[in-house]
């Protein structure tokens, strides 16, 4: 079976597989390869997720923000995005993100940021 090392979808799939197995360093590497192939919103979101799980919060914020700039409808892990904002001392941005995510239906209006 042939494979194309420049296939963004394949790299992103590998990143998702590693994430599902809690192998976040491997996931981050795969998502970064995906971004080199084609910088899609989904690849940015996956890179953000892996970075957040590795406590690389500033990097995660950058990639989550990039994902939203590329596609406002991209599926994001808003909880991890908000946690990354909080962990870097960006409490007001975390609140704004929670309001945004709530409007999109990701949180109940009663949910509060911890």
Question: Quick check: 73 pLDDT over 90?
Answer: no
Question: Quick check: 114 pLDDT over 70?
Answer: no
Mean pLDDT of 12-41: 96
Mean pLDDT of 54-58: 97
Per-residue pLDDT of 79-92, as tens digits, reads 999 999 999 999 99
Question: Quick check: 3 pLDDT over 90?
Answer: no
Mean pLDDT of 86-102: 94
CATH architecture of 8-103: Alpha Horseshoe (1.25)
Q: SS3 letters for the chain?
A: CCCCCCCHHHHHHHHHHHHHCCCHHHHHHHHHHHHHHCCCHHHHHHHHHHHHHCCCHHHHHHHHHHHHHHCCCCCCCHHHHHHHHHHCCCHHHHHHHHHHHHHCCCCCCCCCCC
What crossing angle do the helices spanning 57-70 and 78-87 adopt, rounded to 10°?
Answer: 130
The residues spanned by each domain of the chain are 8-103
Tell me phi and psi for residue 56, to 5 degrees.
-100, 70
- pTM for this predicted structure: 0.87
Question: Quick check: 107 pLDDT over 60?
Answer: yes
């Amino acid at each position: 079976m042939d494979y194309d090392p420049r296939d963004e979808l394949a790299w992103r799939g590998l990143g998702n597989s590693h994430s599902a197995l809690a192998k976040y360093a491997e996931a981050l590497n795969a998502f970064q390869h995906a971004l080199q192939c084609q910088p899609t919103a989904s690849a940015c979101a996956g890179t953000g997720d892996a970075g957040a799980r590795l406590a690389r919060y500033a990097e995660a914020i950058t990639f989550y923000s990039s994902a939203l700039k590329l596609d406002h409808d991209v599926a994001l892990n808003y909880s991890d995005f908000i946690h990354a904002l909080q962990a870097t001392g960006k409490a007001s941005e975390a609140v704004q993100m929670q309001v945004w995510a709530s409007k999109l239906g990701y949180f109940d209006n009663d949910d509060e940021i911890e």
